[in-house]
Structure 1
Amino acid sequence: MELQFFGANCIRLSTKKARIVIDDNLGELGLKSITKPDDIVLKTNKRLPSHPSRFDADMPGEYEIAGAIIKGVGARAHMDGEKETTSVIYTVAADDIKVAIVGHIYPELTEEQLEQIGLVDVAIVPVGGNGYTLDAVGALKIIKQIEPKIIIPTHYADKEVNYQVPQQELSEALKILGMEPAETVAKYKPNPGALTDATHLVVLERQ
């Protein structure tokens, strides 16, 4: 599996059999959409735009496609009311790696949600805050609940991304998280045999 970051909360997971694109609203943010017609598309919120694709998911459920096992878990979005669940947390298991895509959720998960998410190797977590998504404090709460081996931060300030709500700088978020990047790379290829119980943070350069 290979992970690439394209800005905001947009990540592409490339497995041996498929490309999975998460939260491609790049066209709304002054960037170019990356979704291709043969891609699998996952949206953590129904309000995100649709693109021509081989498969499109925006709600809870379980799917098996192109060798990947995908699970969507309903969650309270950061701007939802107390009993609303308009956001979706996804887990993607492929190539002996399991990735969780958190999305813009309220920073508290129930035991039932944690059970559905299960053990995770890599967690993709927004950190930009400012009322729109998780800030570093909320991200840390989610990280402690999920206990991933690798954390990849997303949705932080970037002069090339035209956010509707200003986002916190990554450097400031990392101070609050109390973590230094183990590596900063253009592409991250998690090695199942090399992952340890210790949690590490990997920064992906925007492509």
Structure 2
Amino acid sequence: MKRRQIMRYAGVGLLAAVGAGLSSSFASSLAQAGQSVTVQYFGHTCFLFTGGGVRILVNPFRSLGCTAGYKPPKVASDLVLISSQLLDEGAVEILPGNPRLLYEPGSYQVNGRQIQGIRMDHDRLGGRRFGVNVAWRWKQGGLDILHLGGAAAPITTEQQILMGRPDLLLIPVGNGPKAYGPEEAKQAIDVLQPKIIIPTHYLTKAAAKDACDLVPVDNFLTLMKGTPIQRAGSSITLSRASLPKTGSIIQVMNYA
């Protein structure tokens, strides 16, 4: 029943955002040119991106399993992108207000802003266990952003073409049955060559429950030895000036 409720909500939200068009206030916000984007971390793969007059929330969750220790991200947003309809990446019914919602792969024109949803497998069995994962690519605050959601399969040539070379890559690194482990994440990074890397979907103190089968971010950082690492709190503001002139940097964010 819960899954059906989420799918019903998603269908209504998608029609409101794409079929019926956006509200004039949201449309004008999207048209504003922002020079930076603030990234706020809510745990697991959930982030809020604020910049250019718009707030984009990715992968709100329910507090259960590996997200049991995190507070539900009940934050205001204009647009919500979800990578799957599992409850750790698609609990849209918890959100306040009536944000617009995209949840399926495809290319969307949202009043001049292109948002690309890229279909990937959410497990290592061709999607037979956990279905489809949607990786999201868009531009905001002058940055080309790619959020891989719960990617579990290697990136194909076709997917790489759609993903391009992101300025900011959010990538799962904590392993488990439905997302990259450290080695798989490194392989994806070698393919995409991003400028800033934010690890997601790993074990934290908030997520350290018996039901959680993730590994800590340090496993990934050890594997990426030689790549500069910066640490921040739960929020960071980035601009083109933040980008390294050569190579990549890893930005580790902490759950508040």
Indicate whether the TM-score tops 0.5.
Answer: yes
Provide the rounded CA distance (Å) in 2 between the counterparts of 1:120 and 1:35.
28
| Letter of the 2:174 counterpart | G
5 Å-filtered alignment, 1:21-40, equals 21-28=57-64, 29-30=67-68, 31-40=70-79
Which region of structure 1 is more displaced relative to structure 2, 162-171 or 13-22? Answer: 162-171
Provide the rounded CA distance (Å) in 1 between the counterparts of 2:145 and 2:169.
6
Task: Pick the aligned partner of 1:77 from 122, 134, 140.
Answer: 122
TM-score (norm 2): 0.73
Provide the rounded CA distance (Å) in 1 between the counterparts of 2:203 and 2:242.
31
Question: Secondary structure of 1:188's partner?
Answer: strand
What's the CA shift for 1:64? 3.8
State whether structure 2 residue 215 is matched by structure 1 residue 204: no
- Maintained 8 Å contact 2:228/2:248: no
Larger Cα-atom Rg: 2
Instruction: Determine the structure 2 residue equivalent to 1:19.
Output: 55
Provide the rounded CA distance (Å) in 1 between the counterparts of 2:172 and 2:58.
13
Task: Pick the aligned partner of 1:60 from 101, 105, 117.
Answer: 105
TM-score (norm 1): 0.88
Which region of structure 1 is more displaced relative to structure 2, 137-146 or 176-185? Answer: 176-185
Instruction: Determine the structure 2 residue equivalent to 1:178.
Output: 225
Question: Secondary structure of 1:178's partner?
Answer: coil
Identical pairs, percent: 21
Question: Secondary structure of 2:236's partner?
Answer: coil
Provide the rounded CA distance (Å) in 2 between the counterparts of 1:66 and 1:16.
13
Provide the rounded CA distance (Å) in 2 between the counterparts of 1:134 and 1:197.
25
Question: Secondary structure of 2:63's partner?
Answer: helix
Which region of structure 1 is more displaced relative to structure 2, 27-36 or 114-123? Answer: 27-36
What's the CA shift for 1:83? 7.8
- Maintained 8 Å contact 1:183/1:203: yes
Instruction: Determine the structure 1 residue equivalent to 2:82.
Output: 43
Instruction: Determine the structure 1 residue equivalent to 2:148.
Output: 102
Aligned length: 207
Which region of structure 1 is more displaced relative to structure 2, 71-80 or 60-69? Answer: 60-69
Task: Pick the aligned partner of 1:156 from 197, 202, 218.
Answer: 202
Cα gap change, 1:61/1:185 in structure 2, threshold over 3 Å: closer, same or farther? same
Which region of structure 1 is more displaced relative to structure 2, 53-62 or 23-32? Answer: 23-32
5 Å-filtered alignment, 1:126-137, equals 126-137=172-183
- Maintained 8 Å contact 1:132/1:165: no
| Letter of the 2:82 counterpart | K
Over the aligned positions, Cα root-mean-square deviation in angstroms equals 2.3
| Letter of the 1:137 counterpart | E
Extract unaligned runs of 5+ from structure 1: none
What's the CA shift for 1:101? 0.5
Instruction: Determine the structure 1 residue equivalent to 2:239.
Output: 191
